[in-house]
């Protein structure tokens, strides 16, 4: 066959050789198809409520559990629009039934781009995206899994923009003691 491969031919080509992809370098030049997962990621808790006696001057954190309920491997990404959070693993790969504990860090209020009144008692959403990836993606370590997932989401923005599944984590910052 000469010329450009059609979408179906690319899919067959990518799955026919079944070489394991364990690093981001292994993805270079390889077409990696992405498709919609069957179900949302299982997230516990879905609501996170922070409380501070120091007007959020000290950083806080909590743990969030992600679980893949699907019978195939998925890549996930966590994205927060507000720049008051740091996330321990914002990208990653989850095998079927696998769970991952994510730490959500709330920065100290001195590091927030806006004043505390802009965030306190406002519902803040963190988007959790997931997309199905081929079974031959087997990262060598969690760092490589994070890099591979980041590359999958970068590519899927152009190649498979409608295949991602979204869910959310809601965050609420309670009013602190000194508020009137």
Chain CA centroid to CA 54, Å: 30
The whole-number pLDDT of residue 32 equals 67
pLDDT of amino acid 36: 76
44 vs 26: CA distance, rounded Å: 33
DSSP state of 120: B
Quote the pLDDT of residue 2: 38
pLDDT at residue number 137: 82
Which pLDDT score is estimated for 95?
Answer: 93
Q: What distances in angstroms separate CA 31 from CA 116, 137, 165, one per listed residue?
A: 45, 12, 21
DSSP 92: E
Distance CA 155, CA 105 (A): 28
Per-residue pLDDT of the chain (180 residues; tens, 9 = 90+): 333 434 444 443 344 456 777 666 666 666 666 777 888 899 999 999 999 888 899 999 999 999 999 999 999 999 999 999 999 989 999 999 999 999 999 999 999 999 888 999 999 999 999 999 888 888 888 888 888 888 888 888 777 777 888 999 999 999 876 654
Q: Any idea where the domains of the chain sit in the sequence? A: 7-173
Q: What pLDDT sits at residue 3?
A: 39
Mark 30-58 as b/e (b = at least 16 C-beta within 10 Å).
Answer: eebbbeebeeebebeeeebebebeeebee
Q: Domain 7-173 adopts which CATH fold?
A: Immunoglobulin-like (2.60.40)
pLDDT reported for residue 160: 75
55 closest CA partner among 134, 125, 113, 112: 112
- pLDDT at 157 (0 to 100): 78
Q: How many angstroms separate the CA atoms of 69 and 165, rounded? A: 13
pTM for the full model? Answer: 0.80
């Amino acid at each position: 066959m000469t010329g450009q491969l059609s979408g179906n031919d690319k899919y067959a080509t990518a799955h026919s050789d079944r070489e394991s992809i364990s690093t981001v370098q292994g993805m270079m030049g390889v077409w990696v198809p992405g498709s919609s997962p069957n179900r949302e990621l299982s997230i516990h808790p879905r609501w996170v409520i922070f409380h501070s006696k120091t007007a959020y001057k000290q950083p806080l954190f909590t743990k969030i559990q992600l679980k893949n309920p699907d019978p195939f491997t998925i890549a996930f990404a966590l994205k927060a629009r507000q720049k008051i959070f740091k996330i321990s693993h914002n990208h990653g790969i989850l095998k079927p039934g696998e769970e991952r504990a994510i730490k959500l860090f709330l920065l100290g209020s001195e590091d927030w781009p806006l004043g505390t009144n802009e965030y306190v008692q406002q519902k803040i959403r963190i988007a959790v995206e997931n997309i199905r990836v081929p079974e031959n993606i087997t990262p060598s370590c969690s760092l490589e899994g994070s890099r591979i997932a980041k590359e999958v989401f970068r590519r899927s923005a152009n190649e498979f923009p409608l295949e991602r599944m979204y869910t959310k984590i809601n965050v609420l910052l309670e009013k602190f003691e000194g508020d009137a």
